[in-house]
Structure 1
Amino acid sequence: MPTIMITGANRGIGLELVRQCAADGWNVLACCRSPENAHDLNKLAAASVGKVTVYLLDVTNAAQRTALAAQLKGQPIDILFNSAGVSGSWSTQGFGQCQADEWLDVLNINVITPMLMMQDFAANVALSERKIIANMSSKMGSITDNTSGGSYVYRSSKAALNMVNKSAAHDLARKGISVVLLHPGWVRTDMGGPNGELSVEESVTALKRNLATVTLADSGRLIDIDGSTIAW
């Protein structure tokens, strides 16, 4: 069966992705910052009959990334799904409110660490049959779609991720790896809030449907929840 590696696997979309992929029979490498506190994820792993393995990984921790890459050397990974991300405080993202420290933290987690994860695990993806890297982006990172302004911290982080993804799509094509961006929709999570249009179950079902048809021709795309392309 295919293997998927998921960061931020302890909650929200990441956790639901673990749940659905395990139910489909996939081998799931579930990565999170504090496995000892990831109670829902640990329950899933215990009930998965060996399909879900939980790994310690703070994506911002270089030593942990290096150690995990060494541990998984030679392991084919069909899909590397960079789900871990943060929004920053929505109350400090209007014009005149932005603070450098918070902005840098968001850029580190949303832009730099997905790139470093791609660097560290591209060799595993290249060994697989599916050969897909999926980076969780957002329509809020689309310059074309920005008609309201504001949200400077989060918008800029996803716009930067989009460019990182585009460059990686070019650079990894020679290895046969497709590198795509996914918009999960407006989802009812801690980040999306209680008024989101989609449940995590609905979002992940659609994300999986989109991933199922990805080929090298899709590399570099920002894929909307309905499968269409978002101009970014």
Structure 2
Amino acid sequence: MLSPRVVFITGANRGLGLEFVKQFLKLVNPPDYLFATCRDPEEATELGSLKEDSDRIQILKLDVTSQSDIDCAARELGVRLGDRGVNLLINNAGLTRKRQYVGNLNKEHLLEQFDVNAVGPLLLTQALMPLLLRAAADSPEEPDSCSKAAIVNISSILGSVGENKTGGMYGYRPSKAALNMITKSLHEELKHKGILVTALHPGWARTGIGGPEATLSPEESIRACISVLSNLSTENSGSLLSYNGETIEW
């Protein structure tokens, strides 16, 4: 059963990030602290409404492309958590640009996607690493799990080299492929330290990125993702997993 006591989610003001917040609150044992981050908390009206109904939610300002925001968030966690660690980090914030084909590429837009989708999650993970290690050390006898200590990078099947049959999306595909490589490297570095690491494809969901024609609602997508996280272990850590539990080739 999934029951992390401290959860940290990026991009939690809308789409899948917001749905993660909603469904974590519905767990049999919801987190004591649910840190929900976004670039502009004042504009996150739905997230703010959820906070009014639950003192478990802690809203933090965080632009994953801003090192100062990352450092500030890490310091704030240290103050609010005291001697507790972070059990589950979900790097959910992401960005795609439309019309990404050869002939219409823009360097700024390409680098922006790498910054949000790959570099930002890595630097945030680095900043929160002491808190993740603390959570793992607090329960040395427990099996590795998302309730103990884990990093979940929300990736995409579009970042799979082996599954690329259509091309295009120059920016989103390579940046998610980079996130997949980061996931694998983190797994190899942390696999003996009690921290699970996985990349998770949430399916084609009806969000700002997925669009209105997507096959899954946010509720369906995250319900399935929660099930995958409930079963994450040392056996399938370090993989690119689909929302249906299957492993996707890199």
- TM-score bracket for this pair, using the shorter chain length: over 0.9
Q: TM-score, structure 1 length as denominator?
A: 0.95
Cα shift readout 1:54-102 (whole Å, capped 9, x = no counterpart)? 11111111112112212212432111000001012x21x1122211110
Which piece of structure 1 moves more, 105-114 or 120-129? 120-129
Q: Does 1:7 align with 2:10?
A: yes
Q: For residue 15 of structure 2, what is the amino acid of its counterpart?
A: G
CA contact (8 A) 1:176 1:216 kept: no
Q: CA deviation at 1:216?
A: 2.5
Aligned to 2:36: 30
Aligned to 1:169: 187
Which piece of structure 1 moves more, 120-129 or 63-72? 120-129
- Separation in 2 of the partners of 1:23 and 1:43? 16
Q: CA deviation at 1:218?
A: 2.1
- Separation in 2 of the partners of 1:206 and 1:220? 19
Q: Does 1:188 align with 2:206?
A: yes
Q: TM-score, structure 2 length as denominator?
A: 0.89
SS of the residue 2:166 aligns to: coil
- Separation in 2 of the partners of 1:172 and 1:122? 10
Which piece of structure 1 moves more, 135-144 or 211-220? 211-220
CA contact (8 A) 1:178 1:218 kept: no
Q: Does 1:113 align with 2:120?
A: yes
Q: For residue 46 of structure 1, what is the amino acid of its counterpart?
A: E
Aligned to 2:57: 52
Q: For residue 110 of structure 1, what is the amino acid of its counterpart?
A: N
Q: For residue 140 of structure 1, what is the amino acid of its counterpart?
A: L
- Separation in 2 of the partners of 1:174 and 1:116? 21
Q: For residue 36 of structure 2, what is the amino acid of its counterpart?
A: A
Q: For residue 197 of structure 2, what is the amino acid of its counterpart?
A: V
- Separation in 2 of the partners of 1:146 and 1:63? 36
- Separation in 2 of the partners of 1:103 and 1:95? 12
1:158 to 176, 185, 193: 176
Aligned to 1:39: 45
- Separation in 1 of the partners of 2:47 and 2:53? 10
- Separation in 2 of the partners of 1:144 and 1:29? 35
Q: Does 1:212 align with 2:215?
A: no
- Separation in 2 of the partners of 1:183 and 1:68? 26
Q: Does 1:80 align with 2:89?
A: yes
Instruction: Count matched residues.
Output: 229
Give the structure with the larger helix fraction.
1
SS of the residue 1:125 aligns to: helix
Q: Which consecutive unaligned segments of at least 5 residues does structure 2 have?
A: 140-147
Q: CA deviation at 1:180?
A: 0.3
Identity value in percent? 38
- Separation in 2 of the partners of 1:71 and 1:193? 34
Q: CA deviation at 1:112?
A: 0.2
CA contact (8 A) 1:29 1:54 kept: yes
1:19 to 19, 22, 30: 22
- Separation in 2 of the partners of 1:165 and 1:227? 17
Q: Which consecutive unaligned segments of at least 5 residues does structure 1 have?
A: none
Cα shift readout 1:190-212 (whole Å, capped 9, x = no counterpart)? 11000001000000101110001
CA contact (8 A) 1:80 1:133 kept: yes
Aligned to 1:223: 241
- Separation in 1 of the partners of 2:73 and 2:176? 26
Cα shift readout 1:165-218 (whole Å, capped 9, x = no counterpart)? 111111112321111000000000111000001000000101110001111232
Q: CA deviation at 1:156?
A: 0.6
